[in-house]
Structure 1
Amino acid sequence: MAAPARNHVWVGTETGILKGIDLVKKQATNYTEVSSLNRGQEVHVMCFGDPQESEVLLGCRDGTVRVFNTEKAKFTEFHECGGGEGVFRGLGVLDNALITCVESGLLKVWKEGSNENVEVQVGPGVEKMRLCDAQRHKVGTGGKENDLKIWDLQRPEEPIFRAKNLRNDWLDLRVPVWIRDLDFIPESEKIVTCTSYHQVRIYDPCSPQRRPVLEVLFGEDPLTALSINPDGRSVVVGNSHGNMGVIDLRKGRLLCALKGNAGSVRSLQCHKSMPVVASCGLDRFLRVHSLNDKKLLHKVYLKSRLNCLLLTSRDKWEEEDLTPIADEEVKEEEDEVWNTMETVIDKSSGQKRKDTQDLTVEGGSTGKASKKKKKTV
């Protein structure tokens, strides 16, 4: 019998591999047979199947939901969750039912042992569907030209909240809508969204207005992921350029930046009880930052492009887990990545570059340019 998979972080990849990372032992384990992989197994969404976190559910490109049992350290179930078009944009569990939402806007509640599945059309272009942790029957949806809606799955006929777009801008042009991620603020009715137009917005369904009650701009690049700090006072956001920041939800200002990412952030998650946040993305690294002092605590190279992650609620990490890694250790890991890359030589233009590499061009954009040897310091 396989030993239980006790990991701190679970990661889903573009290649369809489920990886488990033990941050204490600094080990990463693949739980998917590489020989059986195909493009349809790309992991787009993940969630835990129960409060004990004994099951990890993976929503794949081919419309299947695969169930990984962490106690048996193997995949035990496969569910065909077809319907609608596009990839999964959300996955959750309500009692014994699966909840899925695909890009075309079809949200379905798959009741075990029943053919009477609930179907809800939430609008096309969906980028994110997320369940509320406190009220599991409540979900939020949003996407490209599909503004925020909150649904009660016990009464799914109409959304219980439908956001209203901002007023036209100073040129009297309509403000575009493109929600990329959203989350519910703990112990509150409020919900936070981030957009491709680098906006972080807070909506309050209890407010008379349906427009955002607060808006903050972060950076210049599209925001791709967010996660709310468990205390509900701040939110961590990441963008397509690899920048991450912590934003105060009360005063609407940037508290600090978390550095180290080199590619688009695909997923990030704050720990439920510890002041840390995990992130992953296109640069193939899993990183864990401290929210107290902004230090990079862990950095693990995982070889594949990373789409999504799950951070376990375990809070019995050993003390060395929270020791910031040294700059030398980060440099060694980066050097190892570069050393494994194959060197590509362009033979056809190599001689030409050699003759001109020490020359710079002076003068304007028109007329003949003079050449001068570049000084080196």
Structure 2
Amino acid sequence: MALNFYGLDLIVASNIGTIKHVKYNSNPNKKPDIKQLQRIKELEKGQGITCMTWADAEQTKFIVGRKDRTVQTFNLITDEFSDTKSVDFGEGKLQSVSVFGESIFGAVESGVIKIWKSNTSDEHLLNTGGPIEKMKHCSYNSSIIATGGKENDLKLWDLEKRTTTFHAKNVPHDWLQLRVPIWVSDICFLPENNGNVVAVCSRYGAVRLYDARAQRRPVCNVDFKDQAGSCISLGHYDKHVIVGTGRGLLNLVDLRKKGKLSKSYKGAVGAITDVMSQKDANVVVSTSLDRHLRIHNAESKEIILKQYLTSKLTCFLLRTVDSFIKQEDGEITIKQEIDDSEIKDEDEPDQEYDEMFDNMEIIREGISSKIEKNIFLEDKTKDVTVSKKKMKSEAKKRKGNDTINDASISEDLIDSPKKAKLDKEEEKVNDEDIDQSIIKLLRSTEKLKRKLLSKNKKKKAKSLFYK
């Protein structure tokens, strides 16, 4: 689908539970519009967000899964949570949520999946046979989901029949004939295959492509040494995926034939938590633990946007609908977007943080001694230059006064050689005094510098790190 008026429309979640609505315009001179959907004051400890998904095709509602095992539905039209449900099955935190028709289903860390309807008591449970790190719902075939976790390899499930349709088999032993460990961290479905072709990334640095129609073992396997895969998404090319790592790299992997690394997108300091590629805009969007939202150019690898969002980011949703949709009296009408001239900058997202930092006390005890010494020397040199200027100005004034006095003196006194000699001697004495005072100040500053340097040398000689 084509992008909307703002360019990119994102819903970003954090590990403390805040949700922000970010609208980015392709105009580089304009800052992104950031709106906070849930404030920090409304949250409690342990309400961090672990997963999100869209609740409807119009993308006006989205579902949020939290660490305290609650599932909430947020309405973008009313800017309120419309429904809240606590999860009472399995053990561990909520890993993934999704929507199947009128039902909602979620997976917990212990490996149990529950399907329920909000208006009825109809519930169904699925046991995946091991811990779950990720559950992914196929967007090309809504009845298929994929699960995987630590020592729980990839499995495909049919939600209508509630049975497994595919169970992956581990790769052969390594060259030492040792078993290769399994830890599926994220899953993505490749298009135009009815949910039969799946790519996964591993915490042990592997990217694997499975074809349920061909064999149980991976069709393609690409290994990255010392790079733990944290998230995976479709690339902007056919049979390409983008893999985020724990080192802050975004790797574009070509899964054709034997598979290879195509290119890498750099810039992140913390581990990548979520990634998504937008083909129409030719960009790659990612969030990381360094609290930044980044948008890369897919071709040139250049960072288009680097936005700081105050808290560690866990996941995000990308809107692909052109405009908001409002439902009135059973009919759906399109709400037109606002022009750039009518948009006003909003400081609400950072207002709480600004007030908090303004009320903090300034602490100066932590300033190091070296900084204080440098400040002292800078002030001393400034005093020397000021004193030089003052002395020169005073000398000029004295000379001017001497000329005025000489003009007022009578001619017989001017002609007297004794008076002229005395005036010359006084001028020489004044010049000598100025020079001597300047020299004294310079010498004093040089002595101070030498003392400070000698002290630093002694400290270094005593310390263990310079021996």
- Determine if the TM-score, normalized by the shorter chain, exceeds 0.5: yes
User: What is the one-letter code of the residue matched to 2:32?
Assistant: K
Separation of aligned partners in 1, 2:228 and 2:242? 14
The aligned length equals 337
**Would you say 1:235 and 2:241 are equivalent positions?**
yes
User: What is the one-letter code of the residue matched to 1:308?
Assistant: C
CA-to-aligned-CA distance 1:110-135 (integer Å, 9 cap, x gap): 12322221110012221100000011
Equivalent residues of 1:286, 1:299 under 8 A apart: yes
Counterpart in the other structure of 1:303: 310
Counterpart in the other structure of 2:296: 289
Equivalent residues of 2:232, 2:243 under 8 A apart: yes
Structure 2 counterparts to residues 314-325 of structure 1, below 5 A = 314=321
User: What is the one-letter code of the residue matched to 1:103?
Assistant: E
Change (3 A) 1:346 1:110: farther
CA-to-aligned-CA distance 1:355-374 (integer Å, 9 cap, x gap): 6786699xxxxxx9984xxx
CA-to-aligned-CA distance 1:275-317 (integer Å, 9 cap, x gap): 2221112100000112122121111100100111111114699
Equivalent residues of 1:273, 1:313 under 8 A apart: no
**Would you say 1:143 and 2:149 are equivalent positions?**
yes
Bigger Cα displacement from structure 2, 22-31 vs 198-207: 22-31
Counterpart in the other structure of 1:22: 23
Separation of aligned partners in 2, 1:180 and 1:53? 26
Q: 1:172 aligns with which of 157, 171, 177?
A: 177
Matched residue of 1:176: which SS? Answer: coil
Q: 2:272 aligns with which of 241, 254, 265?
A: 265
**Would you say 1:187 and 2:188 are equivalent positions?**
no
Structure 1 gap segments, 5+ residues each: 1-5, 321-339, 362-367, 372-377
| Alpha-carbon offset, residue 75 of structure 1 | 1.9
Separation of aligned partners in 1, 2:156 and 2:199? 12
User: What is the one-letter code of the residue matched to 2:298?
Assistant: L
Q: 1:104 aligns with which of 91, 110, 118?
A: 110
Change (3 A) 1:153 1:344: farther
Change (3 A) 1:54 1:344: farther
**Would you say 1:13 and 2:9 are equivalent positions?**
no
| Alpha-carbon offset, residue 27 of structure 1 | 2.5
| Alpha-carbon offset, residue 168 of structure 1 | 1.6
| Alpha-carbon offset, residue 49 of structure 1 | 0.6
Equivalent residues of 1:11, 1:20 under 8 A apart: yes
Counterpart in the other structure of 2:392: none
TM-score by length of 1: 0.82
User: What is the one-letter code of the residue matched to 2:204?
Assistant: Y
Change (3 A) 1:369 1:266: closer
Bigger Cα displacement from structure 2, 55-64 vs 228-237: 228-237
Equivalent residues of 2:59, 2:321 under 8 A apart: no
Matched residue of 2:133: which SS? Answer: strand
User: What is the one-letter code of the residue matched to 2:58?
Assistant: Q
Counterpart in the other structure of 2:377: none
**Would you say 1:199 and 2:206 are equivalent positions?**
yes
Change (3 A) 1:143 1:347: same
Change (3 A) 1:239 1:114: same
Equivalent residues of 1:272, 1:313 under 8 A apart: no
Change (3 A) 1:231 1:243: closer
User: What is the one-letter code of the residue matched to 2:127?
Assistant: Q
Change (3 A) 1:34 1:197: same
Counterpart in the other structure of 1:82: 88
Change (3 A) 1:346 1:92: same
Equivalent residues of 1:271, 1:313 under 8 A apart: no
Separation of aligned partners in 2, 1:39 and 1:95? 33
Change (3 A) 1:266 1:360: farther
Separation of aligned partners in 2, 1:356 and 1:46? 59
Equivalent residues of 2:235, 2:252 under 8 A apart: no
Counterpart in the other structure of 2:168: 163
Separation of aligned partners in 2, 1:29 and 1:43? 17
User: What is the one-letter code of the residue matched to 1:194?
Assistant: C
Counterpart in the other structure of 1:326: none
| Alpha-carbon offset, residue 245 of structure 1 | 1.0
| Alpha-carbon offset, residue 80 of structure 1 | 2.1
| Alpha-carbon offset, residue 35 of structure 1 | 1.2
TM-score by length of 2: 0.67
Change (3 A) 1:257 1:308: same
Matched residue of 2:171: which SS? Answer: coil
Change (3 A) 1:360 1:314: farther
| Alpha-carbon offset, residue 198 of structure 1 | 0.7
Identity of aligned residues (%): 33
Matched residue of 1:35: which SS? Answer: helix
Separation of aligned partners in 1, 2:456 and 2:16? 39
Separation of aligned partners in 1, 2:319 and 2:279? 8
Give structure 1 regions of 4+ aligned residues with deviation exceeding 6 angstroms.
340-344
Counterpart in the other structure of 1:375: none
**Would you say 1:56 and 2:62 are equivalent positions?**
yes
Structure 2 gap segments, 5+ residues each: 1-5, 26-30, 324-336, 341-359, 374-454
Separation of aligned partners in 1, 2:144 and 2:456? 64
